[in-house]
Amino acid sequence: MSSDAIALGSNGQEPSYLDYKGKHSGLLGWILSTDHKRIGILYLCALTVFLLVGVSFGFLMRLELISPGKTIMDAQTYNSIFTLHGVIMIFLFVIPGIPAVFGNFVLPILIGAKDVAFPRINLLSWYLYMIGGLLAVISILLPGGPADTGWTFYIPYSVRTGTNVMLALFAAFTLGFSSILTGLNFVTTVHRLRAPGMTWFRMPLSVWSLYATAWIQVLATPIIGITLLMVVVERWLGVGIFDPALGGDPVLFQHLFWIYSHPAVYIMIVPAMGVVSEIIPVFAHRTIFGYKFIAFSSIAIALFGSLVWAHHMFTVGMSDTGQFIFSLLTMVVAIPSAIKVFNWIATLYKGSIDLAAPMLYVLAFIFLFSIGGLTGVMQGVLSVDIQVHDTSFIVAHFHYVMFGGTGFGFFAAMHYWFPKMFGRMYNPRVAKIAFWFLFIGFNILYFPMFIMGWLGMPRRYYDYLPEFQSYHLISTIGSWITVLGILLMFYNLIRSLKSGQIIKEKNIWGGETLEWQIDTPPIHENFYEIPVITSRPYQYKDNEEVITHKEHK
Amino acid sequence: MEKHEHTSEHSHGYSIYILVWLALLSLTAITVAVAGIDIGRFTVATALLIASLKTFLVLNIFMHLKSESKTFRVFVGVAIFFLAISFILLFADYSFQ
Amino acid sequence: MSSTQAAEVHVHRDDVGSRMGMWLFLFTELVLFGGMFILYSVYRFTYADDFHIAAKELNTVVGAFNTAILLTSSLTMVLSIIAIQRNQKSLSLLMQGLTILLGLFFMVNKYFEWTEKFHHGIYPGSEELLAKNSGEILFFGLYYMMTGLHGIHVLVGMILIAIMAVATKRDLINHSNYVRLENIGLYWHLVDIIWIFLFPLFYLIT
């Protein structure tokens, strides 16, 4: 979009947010900072650590499954490892993920604001996140052993097991609270802090995504909050609520659990879709196709996503009527997602495609998310789900959408905004090599799971029949290639923080959103002067301020 | 200017609040009285209806929803919708078991 | 909004934004209790007769009285805001104090209700309770959970209002800057609304 001719700032007049000296200096200046950019970086550091921990657990699981029977751990350990793999990946990486890191860093800038609506609550969100993470880690280390219920904490086992379920539940509760506060902050920010002239339909699409996500965070998260709290109370005080021995209904627990956890998957994917909508126009050198459709589809996904939760429960004894209704609604929720995919592809058409690292991740996203999404629709068909529920087909499906979707979206965002955030450039060749390891490894890791799941391999099983071994072997080898890719990717990025090429230009990619019109890295208050927005977003045209370096691609 | 938004809105004084308070107390009395009458299937519905009426008064008058911008009312609508749809769909399962 | 904001010159205060944040937080509280209401509705549907029997243990008069107390505290709360808007500081302080007092009254009643039940052996995990029907056990499980969590919210509200009262006394909350008091008021009203639903659903099952 074009903005006032008044310069939004020239380089070097003020220190960047990295060098800014506020009330506190050094480490305190970071962990007491209410600057949304610093908070985004704090989240990035923490999330990276938890991602690597979660990946290690996954790696260990795959090692165990390389052959039937015991390989490197006993069954109890395996149960705990898949539980913590899920809890850490879901609550500490994928759900906070893009909103906490990139939403925090970029959202205020995208709408022309100096910060979010409630900067101190933003910092509190991070503290709650860290406390939740700490509780999860402690639950692994304390006697009693880490929880072994699966991340879904189903009744009655979650009330019976002697492992550290309480700590895990408190961790999830605290993390939920962190998520709620972020959502509350973002909704208010988008309503109240848009720059003059930025109407709703002049907002970038990633803002629409973050806004829709924020609503789900606010409305859906408390349900799991209270549900987990009730399990805590049931375990601790023996209050009869879900326990069937006391007349409770375990299926009701599942309903309440999924009333949050299904919308939660939209908290996971919608921001990633927002990232895709940002990156594609830049690297295809074309205006996004169907802006309003994409904007409204974000809202539609949030809306319809709240109506389908029981498709996780088709086999537990629901009424036929219930099953039919939820299956039908599941078909409907796929539509807005498909609309996005069509619009992205239409944007690529006749574009001048630049296969820089961010673009590679985004293209991979479209491919992997489509597979994941379509298999989701397959699972929404009742007769199919009876066959594949609780098999590794489901595991493959959700890894395609959560990892191939959100994960790759997160990595795309990292490679896209890294230069702006740190004023450094990573090695583009290494980035691409890491990408290919990751992409190829990913498919070798997860595609066999579709096949063996279809053939009957159950999920969360420590042991299995010999007929599945070759699939498991291939999958485990895939996990090694994937992990190599992840490690190479992070090595490249982390190394570049210190020794990457220094970037001072405002707009190395040729983007049309506001973050590419300000200093690299941004100054403390983002803008020297709040811009006035006078035209619609993403008018892709030659822009004098754009300096595109071929060597960055 | 936002700071002065409220002062002009509420110069109609304390009386509206006293009136609403009396209405709320009356509705409470009605609820208790109705509970003593056997109306079978409609017991819950009536209780919820009266409770909703009380809530409507608290939301609009005590919480000043009536004088806030339309955005706030849309927000409340969205929140209530989310809860309502959860109830409805849940009973789509339970009423047919 | 003006086309350029010289944010460094005057402190930018956004009362509407502040209230918006509070309303969003209230939605989370609504859904938090909503989850338990969902549980209640399914179990009542399933165990209608047991719920009816169990509800007889509750004292309708005390419940109704507590309802009146909380409704009155909502009145005093909103009056405290109107008072501060009109620069009537002492009236506002009086109303805030009354609100806290009424909250205390509510909690005292609650305390007596609960201890009376404990005395009759009706508490989570008790032999007496476990000997009853499933629906009755669930009724009391929900009763303690929901009124317990509600009570915690009342206590927190009382503390928050006390903090507001101190701020009012120090003129940090005054007739041109009272959004914090409004926000605490909003919270208090929500706590009242939750009780408005709790009361008939637990005390008035015929």
CATH number at residue C130: 1.20.120.80
The number of domains in chain C is: 1
Cα A407 from Cα C34, distance rounded (Å): 33
- Of C206 and C46, the one with more pLDDT: C46
Residue C32: give the domain boundaries: 16-203
- Of C19 and A550, the one with more pLDDT: C19
Q: Determine, for residues C35 and A222 on separate chains, whether the beta-carbon distance falls below 8 Å.
A: yes
Q: Determine, for residues C82 and B14 on separate chains, whether the beta-carbon distance falls below 8 Å.
A: yes
Residues of chain A scoring pLDDT < 70: 1-12, 539-553
A308 falls within a domain? yes
| Mean pLDDT, range C126-145, rounded to an integer | 92
Cα B88 from Cα A255, distance rounded (Å): 13
The pLDDT of residue B24: 97
The pLDDT of residue A538: 73
Percent of chain A as helix, strand, coil, to the nearest 5? 70, 0, 30
Q: What is the pLDDT of residues A61-89, one digit of tens each?
A: 999 999 999 999 999 999 999 999 999 99
C9 falls within a domain? no
Distance from CA of A514 to the nearest CA of C (A): 16
C140 falls within a domain? yes
Is A293 within 8 Å of A119 (Cβ atoms)?
no
**Which of A223, A237, A530 faces C35 most closely, judged by CB atoms?**
A223
Q: Determine, for residues C39 and A187 on separate chains, whether the beta-carbon distance falls below 8 Å.
A: no
A9 falls within a domain? no
Cα A112 from Cα A240, distance rounded (Å): 51
A11 falls within a domain? no
Q: Is A16 helix (H, G, I), strand (E, B) or coil?
A: strand
Distances (CA, A) of A401 to A99, A237, A382: 17, 39, 20
For B83, name the nearest residue in chain A, comparing CA atoms only: A219
A5 falls within a domain? no
Q: Determine, for residues B89 and A321 on separate chains, whether the beta-carbon distance falls below 8 Å.
A: no
**Which of B47, B61, B79 faces C27 most closely, judged by CB atoms?**
B79
Cα A394 from Cα C33, distance rounded (Å): 32
The pLDDT of residue C11: 60
Is A261 within 8 Å of C68 (Cβ atoms)?
no
C2 falls within a domain? no
DSSP string, A338-381: HHHHHHHHHHHTT------HHHHHHHHHHHHHHHHHHHHHHHHS
C143 falls within a domain? yes
Residue A362: give the domain boundaries: 26-552
C133 CB burial (10 A radius; 0-12, 13-18, 19+): middle
β-pair partners for A424: A502
Phi and psi for A198 in degrees, rounded to 5? -90, 90
A18 falls within a domain? no
Q: What residues contact residue A391 under an 8 Å CB cut-off, 6+ apart?
A: A452, A453, A454, A456, A457, A458, A459
Q: Determine, for residues B32 and C72 on separate chains, whether the beta-carbon distance falls below 8 Å.
A: no
Where exactly are the structural domains of chain B? 2-63, 68-97
**Sole residue written with tokens 């919308």:** A263
Q: What is the pLDDT of residues C49-99, one digit of tens each?
A: 999 999 998 999 999 999 999 999 999 999 999 999 999 999 999 999 999
Average pLDDT value for chain C: 92
Is A299 within 8 Å of A209 (Cβ atoms)?
no
Residues A230-253, buried b or exposed e (16+ Cβ, 10 A)?
A: bbbbbbeebbbbbbeebbbbbbbb
The number of domains in chain A is: 1
| Mean pLDDT, range B69-84, rounded to an integer | 96
**Mode of pairing for the β-strands spanning A424-425 and A501-502:** antiparallel
C4 falls within a domain? no
Q: Determine, for residues C189 and B62 on separate chains, whether the beta-carbon distance falls below 8 Å.
A: yes
Distance from CA of A167 to the nearest CA of B (A): 28
**Which of C14, C45, C74 faces B62 most closely, judged by CB atoms?**
C74
Distance from CA of A256 to the nearest CA of B (A): 9
Q: Is A537 helix (H, G, I), strand (E, B) or coil?
A: coil
For A191, name the nearest residue in chain B, comparing CA atoms only: B71
Using the predicted structure, report yes or no on whether residue B12 has a pLDDT greater than 80.
no
DSSP assignment letter at C87: T
B5 CB burial (10 A radius; 0-12, 13-18, 19+): middle
The domain that holds A452 is classified in CATH as 1.20.210.10
Q: Which residues of C touch A (CB under 8 A)?
A: 1-5, 7, 14, 16-17, 20-21, 24-25, 27-29, 31-36, 38-39, 42-43, 46-47, 124-125, 129-130, 133-135, 137-138, 140-142, 144-145
Is A391 within 8 Å of A453 (Cβ atoms)?
yes
Distance from CA of A425 to the nearest CA of B (A): 42
User: ipTM exceeding 0.90?
Assistant: yes
